Chain A
């Protein structure tokens, strides 16, 4: 479903990035980096225009020719970015939302692992498994 999943710290550096296929890694890293500007814009707009829109899910950040990039920000200002293939038109908004929910739940579990230091890159087997589940597509 997803071709790239990223978790970004509130200081805007990556805590976790995974993408498939491997050769597009750099391209996705760049895409995630660019998307952060859009995220910043969206969360600051909330204060101005959409006063009551205090949702964590940010929706579609921007579409490119081949991909769609979605964003989500937690109350601790950690950002999640999911990139999906544009050709995957079957993927609906609520499915994306549910992917973000899963990410958020797993991230919260990582935060509660006493051996994890906030700010470190995420190195958790169960987090990896959850992300793998969202990236592998049954052919």
Chain B
């Protein structure tokens, strides 16, 4: 079992790499979007694989809420060694997941620079969540925000076709 810090460094290096790759582009705003979506797509594929493994022995899910609860408990525990601390929903397809000590943010202090850069360190995880849900038949848009390290909120908006 690998140590978390090795993974954290791997993740940070991965983020740096993706941003460096896009630095040749002209518009700065364009750069940010592409790097974020590259990281998000990487996470998406990983989320699909992870959820396939984690749901190998589980019975099928009743509904979206059932899926979200699984995400907050079993999935988060398996992946981040803890549960989501708080799940809220408006019962109309929007869910907010709060993690008070997000595993991938422990290396960052609350300096303004890091807070501004936080989205790039959350993109991969957002993709993972979206990929996991997608493989269970739930299409969504996943975003995240940090107001105080290392706590963060993930917002899942379920898309109805």
Contact = CB atoms under 8 A, between A and B. Distances in A.
B60 A108 contact: no
Contacts of A77: 137
Interface residues of B, number: 16
Nearest to B137: A77
Interface string B46-62: 00110111011011111
Contacts of A74: 52, 55-56
**Interface SS of chain A: helix, strand, loop or mixed?**
loop
Contacts, number: 44
A108 B53 contact: yes
Contact of B52 (A10, A54, A112, A114): A112
A105 B52 contact: no
A118 B48 CA distance: 9
Given A76-B135, A112-B52, 14 more contacts: A54-B60, A55-B59, A74-B56, A75-B51, A75-B55, A75-B58, A75-B60, A76-B51, A76-B55, A77-B137, A105-B56, A111-B48, A112-B53, A118-B48
Interface of A: 10, 46, 54-56, 73-77, 104-105, 107-108, 111-112, 114, 118
